[in-house]
């Protein structure tokens, strides 16, 4: 059984909607268990036991949310050398263009030595059906690649 961990933070509910769409997409793949957790509740064990990781954040001041940064801070030292090339994807609910949040996550992912497997989904302003479909696709690609042993 492949485990996909979705870690997200949401204040307005937009990123949460996106996280559920990622979970829906990942859940379409056979032999996949989806673990959906708010960043404050996600643990090192969750990260280590997962085969793939999806990270969702609102864009706050052109950066990832503090809760996502806290998840990284809490897990980084103990996860080093244990998550080499773990596949990951990113989704962002943005008030502006979202690139600052994506860039900050991608810089941290380099430190973990995660492997980016799909381009981020950035939803600007209100969450649209098009953005949710992009999130479902994100989940399918991550879960399908992990299940097939591609990543």
Q: pLDDT digit string (tens) for 21-44?
A: 999 999 999 999 999 999 999 999
pLDDT at site 68? 98
What is the pLDDT confidence band of residue 125, given thresholds at 50, 70 and 90? confident
Q: Above 90 in pLDDT, residue 102?
A: yes
Mean predicted confidence (pLDDT) in 4-27:
98
What is the pLDDT confidence band of residue 105, given thresholds at 50, 70 and 90? very high
Residues of the chain by 3-state class (helix, strand, coil), percent to 5: 45, 25, 30
pLDDT at site 95? 87
Mean predicted confidence (pLDDT) in 115-120:
98
- The fraction of the chain above a pLDDT of 70, given in percent, is 100
Domains of the chain: 2-148 (3.40.50.360)
- Give per-residue burial for 17-54: e unless 16+ CB within 10 Å, then b: bbbbbbbebbbebeebebbbebbeebebebbeebbbbb
What is the pLDDT confidence band of residue 133, given thresholds at 50, 70 and 90? very high
pLDDT at site 137? 98
pLDDT tens track for 57-70: 999 899 999 999 99
How far, in Å, CA of 54 to CA of 2, rounded? 14
Mean predicted confidence (pLDDT) in 43-49:
98
By the 10 Å C-beta count (0-12 exposed, 13-18 middle, 19+ buried), 150 is classed as exposed
55: phi then psi, degrees, rounded to nearest 5: -120, 125
Q: Are strands 121-124 and 87-94 parallel, antiparallel or unpaired?
A: parallel
pLDDT at site 112? 97
Work out whether the CA dihedral 110, 86, 116, 122 comes out positive or negative: negative
Question: Over the chain, what is the mean pLDDT?
Answer: 97
């Amino acid at each position: 059984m492949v485990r996909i961990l979705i870690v997200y933070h949401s204040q307005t509910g937009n990123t949460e909607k996106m996280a559920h769409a990622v979970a829906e997409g990942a859940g379409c793949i056979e032999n996949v268990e989806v673990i959906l957790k708010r960043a404050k509740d996600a643990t090192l064990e969750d990260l280590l036991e997962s085969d793939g990781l999806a990270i969702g954040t609102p864009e706050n001041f052109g950066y990832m949310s503090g809760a996502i940064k806290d998840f990284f801070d809490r897990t980084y030292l103990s996860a080093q050398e244990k998550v080499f090339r773990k596949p990951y994807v990113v989704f962002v609910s943005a008030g502006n263009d979202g690139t600052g949040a994506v860039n900050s996550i991608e810089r941290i992912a380099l430190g973990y030595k995660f492997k980016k497997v799909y381009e981020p989904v950035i939803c600007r302003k209100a969450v649209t059906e098009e953005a949710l479909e992009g999130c479902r696709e994100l989940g399918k690609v991550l879960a399908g690649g992990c299940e097939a042993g591609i990543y």
